[in-house]
Amino acid sequence: GTNKKRPKLIKAPKSSKLCRAVWCLRAGEEVSGKCTFPKCDFMHDVAAFLSSKPQDIGSVCHNFQKYGMCHYGFTCRYGGNHIEGLGNKVNEELWAKYENNPTVSNILKKEIQYELRKRQYDFNRAKQAYCKAQSEVAKNSTMEINTNREKNQKRTSAIEKGEGKIDDHGGSDEQNSFNGSHDHTENSETDSLAPETEHRNCLGNAEDKAESMNAEETITEAADVKPVADVSQKQETQIKDNNLGPAPEEDLIKLNSREKKKIEWRDKTYLAPLTTLGNLPFRRICKQYGVDITCGEMALASCLLQGPPSEWALVKRHESEDCFGIQVCGSNAESMVKCAQVLEENTDADFIDINMGCPIDLIYKQGGGSALMRRHSCLEHMVRGMTKILTKPLTLKMRTAIYHDTQVAHKIITKAKLWDISMITLHGRSKEQRYLKIADWDYINECAMVADPMPLFGNGDVLSFEDYSYHRQHSKVAGIMIGRGALIKPWIFKEIKEQRHWDISSSERFDMLKNYVNYGLEHWGSDTEGIEKTRRFLLEWLSFLHRYIPVGLLEQTQKINQRPLAYYGRNDLETMMASRSVSDWIKISERLLGPTPSDFVFLPKHKANSY
């Protein structure tokens, strides 16, 4: 679903760029002594740089007007607003409010980055947590195998003594019931999941075969694990003998070493973590329209542990995001536990989310994303280890299955209820389907009943407040996550809160794009590179935003999977915003960010074959 041969952004040589040490020189300050690198490849001659600098795009610098100082100084393409001679102006009164109170958090410190790059970061806590998780999984597996073995022995002895009733097939009632429950685990789980009078046809023989193979693999792996030495045979006998009376409090309440933060998930609107498009400027736009929960773009655990600024930019948080989460993707349980420790100690987030639904082949082949839905043992080690490190809630985001005809989400949810998971989000499609077909909300509802009392959020095909209200009323989900619907119309959260359609005008939508560009100049920069990054992310968003059809032109509510015919809007700007042509999107960007470079080429990341 992605365009493979996309043009790459060619960076200018270092010799043509100004050294960061002299970007923000004030009037009267000298260049000498500012740069501490003896072999710096960047320019240090401010006058020569200003003479070769491209013409300014505009006369008003957003960063200078808002914060009293522009961090991009001489390189700013709106520099006429704050450059005087060979110095930069500073509004001391306004800058004093933000100098020690930055609006963006989760910026990696240089010393932490150095420790990660040199592999000197202290991961003792993560190693201890991972070892404890391994012991718990081994103990549980051993106890489960011993329990099944004892039941087998009891039934066998009962049959030998003649206590069991032999049927026509040569087996006792007890033996047949045991064999039935063992060999047809999938059918029994499906019966408990579906209503009594109706079963799901899609959970068929293919899943029975896959489940039996998974069960054999699990028993084989667990059989190789040595029993935990702490539990002696004498203690096990005492536990079996003393099984009368009230249950001890330790068995009913899982005691944690420290109090964990709690989040009230129910009845909240949740913006999905969106790769490339769910950046910080876009999340700020959605916060303006009233979304309750936001989550950063998917970050790779292995990359975060190496400390590159590009990957750590994905976990940045704006002060307007009052409930913010960080989504992490990984294929190795120990690396994920280490990543959880780094995030716990160096970031400010309300929850951590594990990505189990990414359908990208590169991630899937490495064992991450949706591949975790078939790697239950790795997932259990991962979750148990991370929950021991984190003082904040841990959530999961998954799909229904890997293949559309073998749904397995309900099995994972059953296990996750025992793993101290705070909330689960379920996208109503399989990895194989990606975004094709309609989301299966019937299965989402069944999984919500399995997850109860743990909250479960549904996700898929919500584009209006009517879709949102229908699924909230006809399912047991605790809330709904919105992804593509928010890309097409970010004001959907306002419509949900006010329970009405909003016929937003083209001028109001253009003002929204202006705000996005200003937020992009804050986030990516107002220099030449920052402006081109802002332009490319704006064009990526317009590749989704153009799908919106104004309510005033419709006879019925728009659905997310409907591809409309070309139409004329109520004015020229509305018509241009509805265009599918990349050239029209570039024209819109030029109205906001000035003319494009002569060699500029854009190709959207997503082909958007499915609406």
Rounded to 5°, the CA angle 561-565-571 comes to 115
- 480 three-class SS: strand
As annotated, the active-site residues are 358
Calpha distance 150→464 (Å, rounded) = 55
Calpha distance 404→430 (Å, rounded) = 5
Residue with tokens 């937003």: 504
Neighbouring CB atoms inside 10 A of 38's CB total 5
Comparing C-alpha atoms, which of 489, 609, 470 is closest to residue 549? 489
Calpha distance 295→271 (Å, rounded) = 7
Burial class (CB in 10 A: 0-12, 13-18, 19+), 242: exposed
Calpha distance 399→369 (Å, rounded) = 10
Residue 315: how many CA atoms within 13 Å on its side-chain side?
A: 30
Phi/psi class of residue 525: alpha, beta or left (left: φ > 0; alpha: ψ in -120 to 50)?
left
Burial class (CB in 10 A: 0-12, 13-18, 19+), 325: buried
Residue 176: how many CA atoms within 13 Å on its side-chain side?
A: 10
Comparing C-alpha atoms, which of 597, 580, 607 is closest to residue 536? 597
Which residues face 481 on adjacent strands?
270, 459
- The CA-atom distances, in angstroms, between 206 and each of 156, 209, 327, 457, 484 are 31, 5, 32, 27, 32
